[in-house]
């Protein structure tokens, strides 16, 4: 396996979306960059930070168009699909659950679908953070664009911490070690 060179956190730009379930990827990379004393700066690819010889990207294209930022950045810096990891929310996992995979389908996640189209492959690592499905009768769009309840905040905070540990493990060890320690 090649070394990790890029972490992409998915979300929607702007204060209106801060703290929403769909911005879980942004929340994780914000925490990670903060822990390393990094700072995001605006670039033509989106918000980019550098920590430990590693680039971290928050696309500013809105979730469903994430590939419009990820594809050009990967081409510009010659980052192969296996040298990046995308951090995104997942409706099909219980809140607080992490699932890291070497590759896979978009699973209906439009941000992952956009990145797969831009890279012309689904063979790129991803770390999914569970946000759970909405209760019966609650609209999915309203759910993913909603904020965590007071009861959910502890689980979501724990998931962010665990995701940061998983990402550090990925770049210091390898994906197999990170998956065995943090999946589930």
- Which residues touch 121 (CB under 8 Å, ≥6 apart)? 81
Tell me if 155 sits within 8 A of 143, measured CB to CB.
Answer: no
Enumerate residues 6+ apart whose C-beta is below 8 A from 161.
31
Q: Which residue has the tokens 């063979």?
A: 123
- Say how far apart CA 181 and CA 184 lie, in whole Å: 9
Question: Could you confirm whether 22 is annotated as catalytic?
Answer: yes
> In angstroms, rounded to a whole number, what is the distance separating the alpha carbons of residues 182 and 99?
7
**Of these residues, 5, 21, 22, 126, which one is catalytic?**
22
Catalytic residues: 22
């Amino acid at each position: 396996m090649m070394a990790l060179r890029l972490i992409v956190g998915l979300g929607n730009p702007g204060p209106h979306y801060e703290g929403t379930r769909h911005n879980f990827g942004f929340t994780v990379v914000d925490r990670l960059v903060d822990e390393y004393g990094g700072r995001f700066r605006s670039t033509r690819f989106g918000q980019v930070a550098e920590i430990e010889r590693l680039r971290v990207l928050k696309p500013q294209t809105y979730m469903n168009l994430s590939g419009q930022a990820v594809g050009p950045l990967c081409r510009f810096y010659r980052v192969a699909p296996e040298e990046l990891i995308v951090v995104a929310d997942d409706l099909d996992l219980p809140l607080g659950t992490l699932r890291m995979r070497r590759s896979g389908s978009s699973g209906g996640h439009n941000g992952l679908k956009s990145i797969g189209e831009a890279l012309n492959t689904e063979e790129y690592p991803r770390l999914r953070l569970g946000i759970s499905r909405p209760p019966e009768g609650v609209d999915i769009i309203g759910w993913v664009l909603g904020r965590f309840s007071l009861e959910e905040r502890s689980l979501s905070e724990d998931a962010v911490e665990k995701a940061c540990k998983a990402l550090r493990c990925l770049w210091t060890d390898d994906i197999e070690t990170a998956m065995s320690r943090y999946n589930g």
